[in-house]
Amino acid sequence: MAIPPERPKLRRRRRNLFHTSEEDLFNAQLTPVTPQTEAQAYRLAFADGDFLTREELRPVRLQLELLKPEIYLQEHGITSTVVVFGGARIPAPGAEPGGKNAAQRKSLAEKAHFYEEARKFSELVSHASKKLDCKEFVITSGGGPGVMEAANLGAQNAGAVSIGLNIVLPHEQKPNDYVTPELCFNFHYFAIRKMHFLMRAKALVAFPGGYGTMDELFETLTLIQTRKIKPLPVILFCDEFWSKAVNFDFLAAEGVIAPEDKDLFYCVETAEQAWEIISEFYYNSRQE
């Protein structure tokens, strides 16, 4: 004899005479098996994965990816974040670096101190966040390895929550072990993930990294430059790396950016310097 499904606990009290979606999902499982009820057309639309993944449903999926993290973050009362970007390939001190050849492995091993600096920075921020009941300045990363892992580890070491915004990729990308499980999200759409990085951001901190780090950095700088978002501290760790990776002086000299656009970000070498910039930025803002 088949075991009947357990009636779900409702998340909210019914406010009218109509059944809730949870009740109807439960009741649908009690339907007798017939050729009609077994057909895909009979499935409840919101419970039909095959239907929801159709190309025509892309607008609905975009909305769902925007709504799900937003609702969860609201339920946890999180009002602001500090976003940490950086290379997924940067190893923890003492860990075996990746890389395609000996030169890359040597270079990545030399960057292991950025893992430690990201951890230290996140600890500093998270201690401040704890004083605010982990509602403000909540560390947020891409949820993966390398600098992202260090950021979430620092928050955990401080006894604070942290957010991970993962994305489905054909390689790597399982969540690192230090993201708060209830705040670990997974995305299909890069565009919606990017929105969530910035929707609550009070600062963006970029450690040395590759295309992904560059992508998020320049999108943020562009939004500030074009005044699509309010100014916020954008902090780059390691002036030597960034001055080689991007020649901002050359861009200004060529006239493709304004000279003042070089003032949209700060360069620092230590976690303490980065947190001091963020603290002063918001302290001075409150005084104005």
Measured in degrees and rounded to the nearest 5, phi and psi for residue 139 equal -65, 135
190-218 residue pLDDT tens: 999 999 999 999 999 999 999 999 999 99
Q: What structural domains and CATH numbers belong to the chain?
A: 77-287 (3.40.50.450)
Handedness of CA 216, 191, 80, 220 (dihedral sign): positive
Residues of the chain short of pLDDT 50, as ranges, are 1, 287-288
Q: What is the pTM assigned to this prediction? A: 0.90
14-49 residue pLDDT tens: 566 777 888 888 888 888 999 989 999 999 999 999
The pLDDT, as a whole number, for residue 27 is 87
The pLDDT, as a whole number, for residue 36 is 87
Q: How far is CA 253 from CA 90, 243, 268, in A?
A: 32, 15, 23
The pLDDT, as a whole number, for residue 287 is 46
The pLDDT, as a whole number, for residue 90 is 96
DSSP SS3 for 166: strand
